Amino acid sequence: MIKQDRGTPFSVTNSGTSVALATQAGSSNVIRFVTDIAASSSGTMGTWAVYAGNSGGSDILLWTGNGMVNYSFVEPLVGLVGGSVYVSANGTVTTYANLAGFSINAS
pTM (2 d.p.): 0.89
| CA–CA separation, 50 and 87 (whole Å) | 5
Q: Once rounded to an integer, what is the mean pLDDT over residues 69-79?
A: 93
Q: Spell 72-104 as b/e; 16+ CB within 10 A means b.
A: eeeebbebbebbbbbbbbbbeeebbbbbbbbbe
Domain that holds residue 101: 8-105
Q: Once rounded to an integer, what is the mean pLDDT over residues 73-84?
A: 92
Instruction: Give the CATH number, domain containing residue 55.
Output: 2.60.120.230
Answer whether residue 50 is part of any domain.
yes
Answer whether residue 1 is part of any domain.
no
Q: Please state the domain count of the chain.
A: 1
Residue 45 pairs in a beta bridge with 91
Is the Cα dihedral 88, 103, 52, 63 positive or negative?
negative
